[in-house]
Amino acid sequence: MANLKELSKQTKPLFTGGHRACAGCGAAIVARQVIMTAGPNTVVANATGCLEVVSTIFPYTAWNVPFVHSAFENAAASISGAESLYKAWVRKGKYNKKANFIAFGGDGGTYDIGLQSLSGAMERGHNILYVCYNNEAYMNTGVQRSGATPKGADTSTAPVGKVRKGKEQYRKDLTEIMVAHKIPYVAQSVVGNWRDLTSKVEKALAIEGPKFINVFQPCRLGWSYEPEMTCEMGRMAADTCAWPLYEVVNGQYKITYKPKEKKPIAEWLKLQGRFRHLFRPENKPLLDDIQAVTDKNWEDLLRKESCAAPVAQTKLA
Amino acid sequence: MAKSNIVARTGNEAMAEAMRQINPDVVAAYPITPATEIVQIFAGYVADGIVDTEFVPVESEHSAMSACIGSSAAGGRTMTGTSSQGLALMAEMLYIAAGLRLPIVLADVNRALSSPINIHCDHSDTMMVKDAGWVQIFSENAQEAYDNMIQAVRIAESSKLPVVVTTDGFIISHGMERIEILDDKAVKDFVGEYKPENYLLNFDRPITAGALDLTDYYFEHKRQQIEAIKDSKKVILDVAGDFAAKFGRSYGLFEKYRMEDAEVALVAMGSTAGTAKVTVDALREKGVKAGLIKPRVFRPFPKEELADALKGVKAIAVMDRSDSMNAQEGPLCLEIKAALYDKGISKTVLNYVYGLGGREIRLDEIEAVFNDLAAAIKGSKKPAVTYLGVRE
């Protein structure tokens, strides 16, 4: 595995500074760490969203690797097209370089509007890595709820009002949906634990077939916290098990980070403006419910880890 | 003259045959009636190793065009096929393919748009995306569909614009015809090898495709695209010229049929033009100076050329196999009228909206249209738009 020292030797950044991301933006950190791990022979497809908008304002680009953006809901389909061409060219003897194919999408482009194209590409078995930078709402359009937004969060389309308490539903478990596709590699990682993310990217890219990494990405604007706290917010999400770090390799679960002492989720929630209302006395039952569901999800994950991988896990590609 | 074969093929088979001979790098497609066969036959070629194309059986037409964009941006010769709702679902991506200046070739089998759902021919689907920035080529029959597909590859790659070649659902797509297939090598030589200038798989020169243009660049990039579609007229004619020189079949921006001394003219696209030719011949036998204009290229619209071709006639009937829902006229008629106006040509122009949802168009109906024109010349008042063959 590449270490920090080695990675820092890259003289020409593949995802450069000078882009227009907010101070403390986690998405830019995800892009930089993923691309520096993947290396220069990488084709990137990006869904419409924060990352695309801040990194490619014409005539500038932050990408020193080949990059394509076409629409919001189709990053997986786009990268599958590029990867298919690669296969055709290799077969025709027109091309002999190694190449990685990586798609980036936010939770909007991945959990919601892009779910169909993601599912299709994963089922078809392309040799691609899809990285979701999951900041738990549609941040690019101004913090609207998404299928990834957690229960109780204040967003502009599920706002806290006189009678409503933010989003009323729990988020969908996209990582599990990807596991259900029986692809060879699925993982959750987080901004703030570079070793976890880069080693997962490295591992994923070494595997033939479709791979998916759901990277939890604190958003200082949408979550409302101080910009210098981004990495800390990510680490706390892992420490409270709000966002467990794990991987599923050919059906076998492995938790890659187990907090020595699982912290109460309130410690993480209270640092974020989007959960401020949860700490009003009348919202105590909601806060308790969030803690109970977090505990249950963590226990489920521990149980899954203890199970042997299904014998007949289909290895794709 | 290259050697060729006479075979019996449906329109769909003819288009698939052209795709086999073109042997593109990537085909990404989703089935839809009546275009399904094109990609189905092609998938068979892939399965049998007859082509070395990578076939991507996507989960929707939106993803079909998205994968085509990924492949084409990566540097590959890329094709797909669809119809109707499929083309509608692609619409977002059609604009993007054109804006990214990607030379994708699409075989579209014209079919009505829902609602009500209908699987039969009209031109609503192609007309819906007429402003998407694609070169649009209509075919009268399976032979033209085959020839147009082969020419489309070169038109697309020379003009850096995507090209859609259309046939008429069931009428052409499923009708068996006698067509002349070119020699495999002749097609291979004609389309040549695609050499993209900038492409994703060139790691020595990484590009960013699909950047965000704000108010300072968007207009300039669109202006370039507008110029490209204007310039494509010459590209289409050059490719047609080369095709005619090599294979003997001539194509232009439109076909003039018995127009030399015509007094009454019909303008019709697609398979109806074939039907109209029979009527024109019959009327000529009776001494009626009837003629036909068959636009082949709807985008770019050959405005000056069409106006010149129509300037000698006394009255014109424009046949629209779709309606613009503008409480006015069909899309073809509007464009013809605009073309005439800009040349200062004032004529009687009657619009006939016909054949929606696959409603048959008969010889006697086309003859009645010519009779309307004859009556209009003599001063009889006719409605600006007639809905032909509908019960009302």
A117:B59 CB<8 A: yes
Q: What is the mean pLDDT of chain B?
A: 97
Burial class from Cβ neighbours inside 10 Å (0-12, 13-18, 19+) for residue A203 reads middle
- Please state the domain extents for chain A: 4-306
pLDDT, tens digit only, all 317 positions of chain A = 567 777 777 778 999 999 999 999 999 999 999 999 999 999 999 999 999 999 999 999 999 999 999 999 999 999 999 999 999 999 999 999 999 999 999 999 999 999 999 999 999 999 999 999 999 999 999 999 999 999 999 999 999 999 999 999 999 999 999 999 999 999 999 999 999 999 999 999 999 999 999 999 999 999 999 999 999 999 999 999 999 999 999 999 999 999 999 999 999 999 999 999 999 999 999 999 999 999 999 999 999 999 977 655 555 44
Chain A residue numbers with beta carbons less than 8 Å from the beta carbon of B60 are 116-117, 120
CATH classification of B254-388, choosing from 3.30.479.30, 3.40.50.920, 3.40.50.10470, 3.40.50.150?
Answer: 3.40.50.920
Output A1-6 pairs: Cβ under 8 A, ≥24 positions apart: A1/A198, A1/A199, A1/A202, A2/A37, A2/A198, A2/A202, A4/A194, A4/A195
Residue B193, min C-alpha distance to chain A (Å): 12
* Alpha carbon distances (Å) from A176 to A214, B18, B221, B348: 10, 44, 42, 66
Q: Matching CATH topology for B4-247 and B254-388?
A: yes
Provide the pLDDT for residue A2: 63
CB contact under 8 A, A88 and B202: no
The pLDDT-based confidence of B4 (bands split at 50, 70, 90) is low
Q: Taking CB atoms and an 8 Å cutoff, what residues of chain A touch B76? A: 85, 88-89
Burial of A23 (0-12, 13-18, 19+ CB in 10 A): exposed
Domain boundaries, chain B: 4-247, 254-388
Q: Indicate which of A12, A20, A46, A74 best probes the interface with B, i.e. most B CBs within 10 Å of its own CB.
A: A74
Angle at which helices B11-22 and B184-191 cross, to 10°: 70
User: pTM value?
Assistant: 0.97
Q: Is the pLDDT of residue B1 over 90?
A: no
Q: Are A237 and A268 in contact (CB under 8 A)?
A: yes
Query: What residues of chain B lie within 8 A of the CB of A40, using their CB?
Result: 203, 206
Residue B9 and residue B175: Cα distance in Å, rounded?
A: 8
* pLDDT (0 to 100) of residue A211: 98
User: B109-142: per-residue pLDDT in tens?
Assistant: 999 999 999 999 999 999 999 999 999 999 999 9
Query: Kind of pairing, strands A211-216 and B348-354?
Result: unpaired
By CB neighbour count within 10 A (0-12 exposed, 13-18 middle, 19+ buried), where does B74 fall?
buried
Helix (H, G, I), strand (E, B) or coil at A317: coil
Q: What is the distance in angstroms between the Cα of B60 and the nearest Cα belonging to chain A?
A: 8
Q: What is the nearest CA distance from B101 to chain A, expressed in angstroms?
A: 12
The β-bridge relationship of strands B163-168 and B135-138 is parallel
Q: Is A43's CB within 8 Å of B28's CB?
A: no
Would you say residue B18 has pLDDT above 80? yes
Q: Do B208 and A87 touch (CB under 8 A)?
A: no
Contacts of B153 (CB under 8 A, 6+ apart): B22, B77, B103, B105, B191, B194
Phi-psi region of B335 (alpha: psi -120 to 50; beta: other; left: phi over 0): alpha
pLDDT score, position A317: 42
If you average pLDDT over every residue of chain A, what do you get? Answer: 95
> What pLDDT score was predicted for residue A232?
98
Name the CATH topology of A4-306: Rossmann fold (3.40.50)
Q: What angle do CA B302, B306, B307 make, to 5 degrees?
A: 120
Interface of A with B in 60-119 (CB under 8 A): 61, 63-71, 73-74, 76-89, 91-92, 95, 97, 99, 116-117, 119
CB pairs under 8 A between A and B: 171
- Report chain B residues touching chain A, CB-CB < 8 A: 25-26, 28, 52-54, 56-60, 62-64, 66-76, 78, 92-93, 96, 100, 199-203, 206-214, 217
Q: Please tell me if residue A143 touches chain B, with a CB cutoff of 8 Å.
A: no
Chain B residues near residue A64 by CB distance under 8 angstroms: 206
Q: Do B66 and A81 touch (CB under 8 A)?
A: yes
> Is there a contact between B206 and A67 if contact means CB atoms under 8 Å apart?
yes
pLDDT above 80 (res B285): yes
C-alpha to C-alpha distance for B51 and B39, rounded to whole angstroms: 13
* Cβ within 8 Å, pair B211-A69: yes
Please tell me which residue of chain A has the smallest CA distance to B60: A117
Cα–Cα distance for residue pair A118/A129, rounded to 1 Å: 11
Nearest to B210 among A68, A76, A99 (CB): A68
Nearby residues of A122 by Cβ (< 8 Å), 6 or more positions away = A76, A130, A178, A181, A183, A210, A212
Supply B98's token pair: 């054109």
Q: Which CATH superfamily is domain B4-247 in?
A: Thiamin diphosphate (ThDP)-binding fold, Pyr/PP domains (3.40.50.970)
Span A141-178, pLDDT tens digits: 999 999 999 999 999 999 999 999 999 999 999 999 99
Which of B63, B209, B213 has the CB atom closest to A120's CB atom?
Answer: B63
